[in-house]
Amino acid sequence: MPMKQGSSCAIITPMTNEGKLDIPSLRKLLKFHLASETDNLCILGTTGEASVLNMEERAQVLTTAVEEVKGKIPILAGTGTIKPEAVREMTLQAIELGCDASLVVTPYYVKPPQRGLIKHFTDMADIGLPVVMYNIPGRSQVDLSVESTVICAQHPNIIGLKDATGDLDRVQQIRQSLAAEDDLLLYSGEDGTSSEFVMRGGDGCISVTANVAPKAIHDLMMASLAGNAELAKNINKPMLDLHKKLFVESNPIPVKYAAWRMGLISTPYCRPPLSNLDAKYYNDVETAMEAAGLFGFGDGTNVVVPSNAMSSSKQNRSFSP
């Protein structure tokens, strides 16, 4: 199934207090997204703690996603890492398990030159699964240039770019530089600016906030794609603080806490070297959740809340990190 415009949730990977995969919670999350009009699902990205999962665990997560989604929305599997051989292995696994596309990050730490990045992405696209490139200089310490993006886009199997540079001018530069016939999908990787990104020529977002407010993020993307700035602003306003507070510590620590407080997952556990949310940030995250209507308080615009959500942000903190 081809990737769509709109909201792609960079979904968390639920775990037990012992650090094992929590497949029942994952199934609940996937059902939540199907009911909330999420347009694409990004599985095993940074938010999904892919770097601390082995191949068997990856297979469990991807198999569960494919089984639950049943072809209703596209599945974008994160297969990027520093070693091309490992990217190839994970991409072949994603093909075998029935995923629709792969999210391949710029190789981090080694800081390859632009010609190395171009070769990396085109080599991975040659494997056969459609590729969404992922440019996140803040984590990878290398920036895929506009010129390199345009060169990569000429490969028939490179279908998109997730841009987490934070540079809103970049989307216009890329769109204007692409050949007229090139329909490269441009996704924002920054929740706080995703609406403006889309109205400047983007196609949607790959969102962390969508883990807990999927319907609102879907509606935000639809309004932005339609060029309805006023509606987009009204949808986004209750979530502005949430976008920020979900990054008070390293992703996905805060969003797992938020999802747990909503009753979406059984624990907020993050595998080492990450840890659970520092208690000093509980109120910050919960206050932002209330403003976004995620506890049944606040505006609640376009937010679908599961039936077992916590009734108050200040109670029921039964988990001890």
141 domain-assigned = yes
In a domain, 112, yes or no: yes
How many domains in the chain?
Answer: 1
Residues 52-95 have pLDDT tens digits of: 999 999 999 999 999 999 999 999 999 999 999 999 999 999 99
Residues in binding site: 47, 206
Distance CA 320, CA 305 (A): 24
**What are the tens digits of pLDDT across the range 12-26?**
999 999 999 999 999
pTM: 0.92
Cβ atoms < 10 Å from Cβ of 111: 13
Range of the domain at 164: 6-228
- Peptide bond before residue 273 is cis, with ω within 30 degrees of 0: yes
297-318 confidence digits (pLDDT tens): 333 333 444 444 444 444 455 4
- Of 28, 162, 215, 256, the catalytic one is 162
**pLDDT higher than 80, residue 204:** yes
**From the candidates 134, 187, 257, 269, which is the catalytic residue?**
134
Annotated binding site for pyruvate: 47, 206
Using 50, 70 and 90 to split pLDDT, how confident is the model at 179? confident
Q: Is residue 120 part of a domain?
A: yes
35 within some domain: yes
DSSP 16-42: -TTS-B-HHHHHHHHHHHHHTT--EEE
Residue 293 belongs to some domain of the structure = no
> Can you read off the two tokens belonging to residue 191?
């929740």
Note the pLDDT of residue 81: 95
Residue 257 falls in the annotated catalytic set: no
Cross-strand bridge partners of residue 75: 41
Summarize pLDDT for 125-148 with one digit per residue, the tens: 999 999 999 999 998 999 999 999
Residue 312 is predicted with a pLDDT of 40
Closest CA to 263 of 32, 37, 52, 53: 32
Question: Mean pLDDT, the chain, as a whole number?
Answer: 92
Domain of 92, CATH number, reads 3.20.20.70
* Catalytic site includes residue 134: yes
CB-facing half-sphere around the CA of 175: CA atoms within 13 A: 16
Q: Are 129 and 101 in contact (CB under 8 A)?
A: yes
Query: Is 92 within the bounds of a domain?
Result: yes
Where b means 16+ CB within 10 Å and e means fewer, 55-64 reads: eebbebbbeb
Q: CA-to-CA distance for 157 and 128, rounded, in angstroms?
A: 7
Return the DSSP state at 211.
G
Q: Decide if 80 contacts 54 (C-beta within 8 A).
A: no
